[in-house]
């Protein structure tokens, strides 16, 4: 008998376990896979070559979580990229995105002097909006239908908004309601400048830059920081698995038990209360509370008996929108890509940047429409990261590993085709490699081995329904008090004693640790009566 049984040992389950154990509760984490970490995992995918399997770059991880769990003492080291982004364009042109205002303006001025002048105002406005979001991510959203505490929470947030200038309120409203393309249009004129910023708006979203709601996704990718530097993205030495291994050690040190290879088959409900879980093996693990690190759609569809929830509410949970439309590859490389636009195979700052192939908004729109019609595009959006440039532990000397994160593949294929079909998967993987090779001619021939994950693979390996990297789209109807479902944004699910502690809860996806930490706070409140 435990105080809390956690279904899933993803980074949020581990974070929740650590906080709950530190509060003196007895906790067991039950993970279906042989290694904890969920979508934040490192593995050897080709002899001698290791890389992050799914998530691959860090910024959103909350500094409070790093501090509270002493992740540094448990071996976590995060380093900044030498430059933020590099966007190869055709005919040898590229948009290099360094750090520092003057350097950024100089790079933008190569495309538009007007945009370079405009950029500091845009950057400052986005920073202020990101600061508001950063505050909100740490709070339990006011719950619709809740009590006086929720009214107070709502008033507190209202006061925070009213503290902003009217101009900032306008920007924030734009970000919460518009498409990324509509948001960026009044700011910038150059198509490449707009494309680089719009890219953040479609990451993990099966949506075009012109789709309403993508401006919020853009903002969501800006609230993070690395080593105290806001908006910067970095690399966890050893890959994303280094984060979750440090979290697992922190949870165990605080007293949590982590069990691996134990898939949960169902939540056990007695007298309308969650009292534990049944494992696939038939073993029952009893607990005073159950916290689900799995996504809400999977939780209700697969692990909860329909009769235990009011039917319309059950349907709401099982119809949460999922399907981020992403495809993930790792490649082992004999040498670094030699870009036509920046020749040389010796490590350069651009090799350590997020290399984005999405040169215009029109390119991204086309990739989305192609994927809607045909399942995937012959000109997909690819972000490539080469972490071995920053981290020698990942590949043999002078050789490299690259993560390829591809946007806009349909979560399910139609017309008799399926991601189950290896040939379909490998055909698209070849298209991805050709897409990079167009900009770096030595890329295809430098590949020594590859790992390919379709949306279906992401679902089978990690339980990400429809391959959704966020456990449910970050669309306006699934954010804040509406995440996962209106009336259940306070991490408490419609069965007493059942909580949600993963990315399907506020503030959503990304390696943040925040749903886990926020949920743990609510569970402690209920089990220990702490206010």
Ligand X SMILES: Cc1cc2nc3c(=O)[nH]c(=O)nc-3n(C[C@H](O)[C@H](O)[C@H](O)COP(=O)(O)OP(=O)(O)OC[C@H]3O[C@@H](n4cnc5c(N)ncnc54)[C@H](O)[C@@H]3O)c2cc1C
Nearest approach, Cβ of residue 437 and ligand X (Å): 22
Nearest approach, Cβ of residue 116 and ligand X (Å): 29
- If the CB atoms of residues 146 and 509 are measured against ligand X, the closer one turns out to be 509
Nearest approach, Cβ of residue 31 and ligand X (Å): 5
Residues 6+ apart with CB under 8 A from 116: 105, 106, 108, 109
Sign (positive or negative) of CA dihedral 518, 505, 418, 407 = negative
- Reduce the DSSP state of residue 491 to 3 states and report it: coil
- If the CB atoms of residues 215 and 264 are measured against ligand X, the closer one turns out to be 264
Each residue of 406-425: b (16+ CB within 10 Å) or e? bbbbbbebeeeeebeeeebb
Nearest approach, Cβ of residue 518 and ligand X (Å): 12
Whole-angstrom Cα distance, residue 93 to residue 99?
Answer: 20
Measured CA angle at 185 (ends 132, 211), to 5 deg: 75
CB of 325 within 8 A of CB of 203? no
Nearest approach, Cβ of residue 383 and ligand X (Å): 9
Sign (positive or negative) of CA dihedral 419, 423, 426, 427 = negative
- If the CB atoms of residues 29 and 94 are measured against ligand X, the closer one turns out to be 29
Quick one: DSSP state of residue 307?
A: G
Whole-angstrom Cα distance, residue 469 to residue 373?
Answer: 22
Nearest approach, Cβ of residue 58 and ligand X (Å): 6
Phi, psi values for residue 223, rounded to 5° = -85, -5
CA 455 to chain CA centroid, nearest Å: 14
CB of 272 within 8 A of CB of 493? no
Calculate the dihedral angle through the C-alpha atoms of 394, 399, 403, 406, rounding to the nearest 10 degrees: -170
Determine the length of the chain: 531
Nearest approach, Cβ of residue 504 and ligand X (Å): 7
- If the CB atoms of residues 12 and 377 are measured against ligand X, the closer one turns out to be 12
Calculate the dihedral angle through the C-alpha atoms of 477, 481, 483, 485, rounding to the nearest 10 degrees: -80
Tokens of 213: 């709601």
- If the CB atoms of residues 7 and 357 are measured against ligand X, the closer one turns out to be 7
Nearest approach, Cβ of residue 222 and ligand X (Å): 12
Phi, psi values for residue 194, rounded to 5° = -65, -40
Nearest approach, Cβ of residue 469 and ligand X (Å): 3
Question: Residue 267: how many CB atoms within 10 A of its CB?
Answer: 24
Task: Compute CA distances 175 → 142, 163, 179, 212, whole Å.
Answer: 21, 17, 8, 10
- If the CB atoms of residues 125 and 303 are measured against ligand X, the closer one turns out to be 303
- If the CB atoms of residues 164 and 431 are measured against ligand X, the closer one turns out to be 431
- If the CB atoms of residues 21 and 118 are measured against ligand X, the closer one turns out to be 21
- If the CB atoms of residues 32 and 351 are measured against ligand X, the closer one turns out to be 32
Question: Residue 392: how many CB atoms within 10 A of its CB?
Answer: 10
Nearest approach, Cβ of residue 306 and ligand X (Å): 17
- If the CB atoms of residues 226 and 469 are measured against ligand X, the closer one turns out to be 469
Measured CA angle at 38 (ends 17, 468), to 5 deg: 120
Residues 6+ apart with CB under 8 A from 12: 38, 293, 501, 502, 503, 513, 514, 515, 516, 519
- If the CB atoms of residues 56 and 480 are measured against ligand X, the closer one turns out to be 56
Cβ neighbourhood burial of 68 (10 Å; 0-12, 13-18, 19+): middle
Nearest approach, Cβ of residue 197 and ligand X (Å): 18
- If the CB atoms of residues 31 and 174 are measured against ligand X, the closer one turns out to be 31
By CB under 6 A, name the binding residues for ligand X.
7-13, 30-33, 38-40, 54-57, 60, 263-264, 293-294, 326, 328, 405, 458, 462-464, 469-471, 502-503, 509-511
Nearest approach, Cβ of residue 340 and ligand X (Å): 26
Q: Which residue is nearest to ligand X (CB)?
A: 10
- If the CB atoms of residues 157 and 258 are measured against ligand X, the closer one turns out to be 258
Nearest approach, Cβ of residue 56 and ligand X (Å): 5
């Amino acid at each position: 008998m435990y105080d809390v049984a956690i279904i899933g040992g993803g980074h949020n389950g581990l974070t929740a376990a650590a906080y709950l154990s530190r509060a003196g509760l007895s906790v067991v984490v039950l993970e279906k896979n042989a290694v904890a970490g969920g979508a934040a995992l490192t593995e050897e995918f080709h002899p001698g070559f290791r890389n992050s399997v799914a998530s691959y770059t860090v910024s959103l991880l909350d500094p409070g979580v790093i501090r509270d769990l002493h992740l540094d003492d448990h071996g976590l080291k995060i380093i900044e990229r030498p430059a933020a982004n590099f966007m190869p364009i055709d005919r040898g042109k590229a948009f290099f995105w360094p750090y520092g205002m003057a350097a950024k303006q100089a790079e933008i001025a190569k495309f538009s002097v007007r945009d370079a002048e405009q950029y500091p105002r845009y950057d400052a406005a986005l920073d202020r909006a990101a600061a508001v979001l950063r505050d909100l991510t740490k709070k339990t959203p006011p719950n619709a239908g809740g009590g006086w505490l929720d009214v107070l929470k709502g008033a507190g947030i209202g006061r925070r908004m009213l503290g902003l200038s009217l101009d900032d309120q306008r920007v924030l409203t734009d970000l919460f309601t518009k498409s990324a393309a509509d948001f960026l249009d009044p700011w910038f004129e150059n198509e490449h400048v707009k494309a680089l910023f719009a890219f953040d708006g479609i990451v993990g979203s099966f949506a075009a830059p012109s789709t309403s709601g993508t401006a919020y996704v853009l903002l969501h990718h800006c609230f993070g920081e690395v080593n105290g530097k806001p908006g910067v993205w970095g690399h966890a030495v050893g890959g994303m698995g280094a984060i979750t291994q440090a979290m697992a050690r922190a949870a165990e040190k605080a007293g949590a038990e982590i069990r691996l290879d134990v898939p949960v088959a169902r939540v056990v409900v007695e007298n309308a209360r969650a009292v534990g879980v049944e494992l696939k093996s038939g073993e029952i693990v009893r607990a005073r509370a159950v916290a689900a690190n799995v996504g809400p759609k999977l939780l209700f569809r697969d692990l909860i008996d329909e009769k235990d929830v009011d039917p319309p509410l059950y349907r709401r949970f099982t119809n949460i929108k999922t399907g981020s439309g992403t495809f993930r590859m790792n490649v082992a490389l004999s040498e670094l890509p030699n870009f036509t636009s920046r020749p040389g195979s010796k490590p350069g700052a651009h090799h350590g940047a997020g290399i984005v192939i999405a040169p215009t908004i029109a390119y991204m729109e086309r990739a989305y429409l192609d994927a809607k019609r045909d399942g995937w595009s012959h000109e997909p959006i690819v972000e490539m990261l080469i972490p071995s440039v920053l981290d020698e532990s990942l590949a043999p000397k002078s050789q490299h590993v690259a993560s390829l994160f591809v946007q806009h593949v349909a979560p399910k294929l139609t017309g008799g085709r399926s991601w189950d079909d290896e040939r379909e998967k490998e055909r698209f993987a070849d298209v991805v490699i050709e897409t990079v090779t167009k900009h770096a001619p030595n890329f295809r021939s430098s590949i020594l081995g590859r790992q390919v994950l379709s949306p279906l693979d992401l679902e089978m390996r990690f339980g990400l329904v429809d391959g959704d990297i966020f456990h449910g789209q970050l669309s306006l109807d699934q954010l804040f008090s509406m995440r996962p479902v209106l009336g259940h944004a306070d991490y408490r699910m419609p069965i007493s004693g059942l909580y949600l502690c993963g990315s399907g809860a506020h503030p959503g996806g990304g390696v943040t640790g925040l749903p886990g930490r926020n949920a743990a706070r609510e569970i402690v409140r209920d089990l220990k009566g702490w206010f």
